[in-house]
Structure 1
Amino acid sequence: MSEIQWEEPFCGEGNSCFRIGVDELGNAYIAVRGQEDRFVMDSRDALRTMILDIKAGKADHLLQ
């Protein structure tokens, strides 16, 4: 597996912090800060869409 280069954590309200990373093959990763060994991998576009949808309130039902 390629080494993941993690960006600085993005933290919302409370303790909801996550990090986005990429490897040299162009794969994108997202993980909860502090748990980078447990990640979701997808394309960068798919992860960006997911994050934008969450920020737009489209996934509020998942956070309750």
Structure 2
Amino acid sequence: MREIHWQNPFCGGDGGNTCIQVGFAADGTPVLRETARPNESLTTTREGLRNFVEAAKRGELDHLV
């Protein structure tokens, strides 16, 4: 598997049981994973990640939680 440079995890208020990490592969591809499942990941594009973050900021994903 290619090397991924992971950022510090973003954890919920449940004592760290729901942590999400964002990382970037050597070619710049954004990768997401749950720290509880480090061998499973999701890749996207920078534009896809940007659109997701911006939608979350606008509250468009609130119905999912």
**TM > 0.5 fold call:** yes
Q: Are 1:43 and 2:45 an aligned pair? A: yes
Q: Give 1:12 shift.
A: 4.2
Q: Give 1:20 shift.
A: 0.4
Q: Which consecutive residues of structure 1, in runs of 5 or more, have no partner in the other structure?
A: none
Q: 1:6 maps to which residue?
A: 6
Q: Residues 1-60 of structure 1, C-alpha deviation per residue, up to 9 Å, x if partnerless?
A: 421111101234445421101111111101122323211101123113212322332111
The percentage of counterpart residues that share the same residue type is 32
Q: 2:20 maps to which residue?
A: 18
Helix, strand or coil for the counterpart of 1:52? helix
Helix, strand or coil for the counterpart of 2:3? coil
Q: 1:56 & 1:33 partners in 2: Cα distance?
A: 26
Q: How many residues align?
A: 63
AA aligned opposite 2:7: E
Helix, strand or coil for the counterpart of 2:2? coil
TM-score scaled by length of structure 1: 0.73
TM-score scaled by length of structure 2: 0.72
Q: 2:53 & 2:63 partners in 1: Cα distance?
A: 15
